[in-house]
Chain A
Amino acid sequence: MTLPLLDDGVASGLLCGLLFGYVLEHAGFGSPRKLTAQFRLSDWSVFKVMFTAIVVAAIGLYGVTATELVAADGFYIPTTFFWAMLAGGILVGAGMAVGGYCPGTSAVGLATGRLDGLFFIIGMILGTAVFAAVFEPIAGFYYAAEGPEAQTLSALFGIPTWAVLGFLIVIAVLGFRLGTRFERRFGGALTAGQLNDDGDKTTGGSVETSNVRTG
């Protein structure tokens, strides 16, 4: 058996997706209020969950390549196109701050009964159509400043992968501490109980929050 299995079949897609969606919902990421609270720095779950996941998966991928269970080039690594990817990150961040979701979490939101998730998806389809319509005039920007193919942080900084992983673990620990400190100041991360109150009846909750801030 050679790893990765390169299984892009129906069962593989359903299995990976099922587990992905199951974990995202349990993290609270179906809620646009919880997701956007990250940007107001009052709930650091997005940072904590994403960074932990990146570190855990990165250690696993390092493990299977270092032990030669998988060839060094066995996994897909994106190539940098500096300006388009930075602009893309900025627009996706702005989109979440305004609309409450990113693409994956909008699917989670919709599946958990949130109709605004559906409207976000309609917006994404429109945005994708706009992008396609203007693709030719912006192609120069889209392909500008291409980096080395599949460049990793280890290659960029010229340090071994284990050192990059160590550095990311340090950032994760510091981020968790800083995040928890912020969360305490703003009255704690949003709980499932708070979020399942009807969104229209949140005035009471908001008043409490502002009391905590002034207090």
Chain B
Amino acid sequence: MFSEPRPFWSPLAAGIGLGLVLLLTFLLTGHGLGASGFFTRLTAWFGGEIARPATEANIYLGPFLKAAGGPLATWITWEVIGVMLGALVAAVTSGRFRVKLDGATRLSGSRRIACAIAGGLLTGVGARLARGCTSGIGLSGGATLGVAAFLFLIGFFVSGVAIGWLARRIWA
């Protein structure tokens, strides 16, 4: 048996903590936290490895390949590596680290994988359209009171509740 996991922080405590981390990030860098920018660069990197001419010719991904040091040599890469290390430390020290296939609770393993890939696909397209994700546009843009952030967040929550209602039988 695993040791009993420690409780999560209260939403208020976690929210204040996250707000302070976000504020620190703004003071250090002039911009907020993000995530999808890294996955865009990772896509450009993969493209460069497996289909270089096509990726270089692509009007959206091509410029990332031409960046000095390659598409991954940037702040957001280190930030996402940091996110993973920070999450790992938090999970291990709180007895919450488990290797498992989590996801849509009511589905079998292969269907969980299909849901995760499908959800990722929608998110990948969506984050590029929005020029950022829940962190980069929603959270960071929201802290600067940017109109774009609140537009994004309204779309995110309304769609999430609607699709979440349709998907409720596979999740709960």
Residues of A participating in the B interface, judged by any CB pair closer than 8 Å: 3-10, 12-28, 30-33, 36-42, 44-45, 47-58, 60-61, 64, 70, 74-82, 84-117, 119-133, 135-136, 142, 147, 150-156, 161, 164-165, 176, 189, 191-193, 195-196, 198-199, 202, 206, 209
Q: Secondary structure at chain A's binding surface: helix, strand, loop or mixed? A: helix
Inter-chain contacts of A13 with B (CB < 8 A): 75-79, 81-82
A27 CB contact (under 8 Å) in B18, B83, B121: B18
| A71 shortest CB reach to chain B, Å | 10
Contact assessment for B131 and A92 in the assembled complex, using a CB-CB cutoff below 8 Å: no
Residues in B with CB closer than 8 Å to A193 are 4-5, 7
Closest to A58 in B: B143
B68 on the A face (CB < 8 A) = no
> For residues 82 through 135 of chain B, which have their beta carbon under 8 Å from a beta carbon of chain A?
82-91, 94-106, 112-113, 115-135
A-B contact count (CB 8 A): 561
Cα(A77)–Cα(B171), bound, Å: 36
- Listed by A's residue number, 11 A-B pairs whose Cβ atoms lie within 8 Å are A21-B87, A32-B103, A78-B144, A81-B148, A85-B151, A92-B130, A97-B163, A102-B133, A126-B117, A130-B124, A132-B43
Chain A residue nearest to B166 (CB atoms) is A97
Q: How many residues of B contact A (CB 8 A)?
A: 130
Verify A126–B160 contact, CB threshold 8 A: no
Q: 19 additional contacts, CB 8 Å, given A93-B126, A93-B158, A97-B160?
A: A17-B83, A17-B84, A18-B83, A19-B24, A20-B86, A23-B9, A31-B102, A87-B130, A90-B156, A97-B166, A123-B124, A124-B39, A132-B60, A147-B147, A152-B146, A192-B8, A196-B96, A206-B172, A209-B172
Binding site for A on B (CB under 8 A): 2, 4-9, 11-12, 14-36, 38-40, 42-43, 46-47, 58-61, 74-91, 94-106, 112-113, 115-135, 137-139, 141-168, 171-172
Tell me if B147 and A49 are in contact (CB < 8 A). no
Minimum C-beta distance from B13 to chain A (A): 8
**In the complex, residue of chain A having the shortest beta-carbon distance to the beta carbon of B23:** A60
